[in-house]
């Protein structure tokens, strides 16, 4: 991955918010990845104060962690906490930077592909912090759709106009229709 005997490495983060809005930050100064600028300070959402180590989980928990922003205003923190931003894609890369040109060398290595989960605004005298908790995109695998059932209403929601379940009422045991008998 690395091309130089002397390494200058930077971390890159991108949050893709709904409506085509992006937050692109790096861990110091600024750097271009192609035509895209990554800076250490976003005009609205400020800088990153800390990033919790990304943790792998076992069982029924998806990997996750937390990034703490220092937003420029309480309004900016509230803006980033909009309900429609939950689930927004959040990606991290590790990139090598040519110390002479300041350009990224090669293709950065993606280290995480995540989704925003929750935000918590912390206010104290003279400072504000916004904790943004994130989870792996695999979190979707843990969603439970309680409305899924073998009945006409759910079947019509999936396949409008398909009437295969229309008269399946009062059946003592639900079995999938349309499959051949094992006989």
pLDDT digits (tens, 9 = 90+) for 83-138: 888 889 999 999 999 888 888 989 999 988 888 888 898 988 888 999 998 888 66
Q: Is 102 left (phi over 0), alpha (psi -120 to 50) or beta?
A: left
Q: How far is CA 86 from CA 16, 17, 79, 118, in A?
A: 11, 9, 12, 7
150 vs 21, more confident: 21
pLDDT at 109: 95
At 29-39, the pLDDT tens digits run 899 998 999 99
At 10-61, the pLDDT tens digits run 999 999 999 899 999 998 889 999 899 999 999 888 899 988 766 555 555 5
When the pLDDT of each residue in the chain is averaged and rounded to a whole number, the result is 80
State if pTM tops 0.75: no
pLDDT at 173: 52
């Amino acid at each position: 991955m690395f091309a130089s005997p002397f390494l200058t490495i930077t971390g890159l983060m991108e949050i893709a918010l709904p409506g085509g809005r992006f937050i692109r930050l790096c861990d110091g100064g600024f750097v271009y990845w192609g035509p895209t600028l990554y800076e250490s300070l976003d005009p609205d959402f400020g800088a990153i104060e800390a990033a919790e180590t990304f943790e792998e989980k076992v069982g029924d928990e998806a990997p996750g962690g937390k990034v703490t922003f220092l937003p420029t205003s309480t309004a900016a923190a509230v803006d980033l906490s909009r309900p429609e931003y939950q689930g927004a894609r959040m990606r991290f890369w590790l990139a090598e930077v040519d110390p002479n040109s300041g350009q990224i060398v090669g293709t950065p290595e993606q280290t995480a592909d995540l989704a925003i989960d929750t935000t918590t605004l912390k206010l104290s005298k003279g400072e504000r912090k916004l904790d943004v908790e994130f989870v792996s995109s695999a979190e979707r695998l843990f969603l439970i759709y309680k409305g899924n059932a073998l009945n006409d209403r759910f079947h019509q929601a999936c396949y409008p106009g398909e009437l295969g379940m229309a008269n399946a009422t009062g059946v003592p045991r639900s079995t999938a229709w349309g499959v051949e008998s094992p006989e």
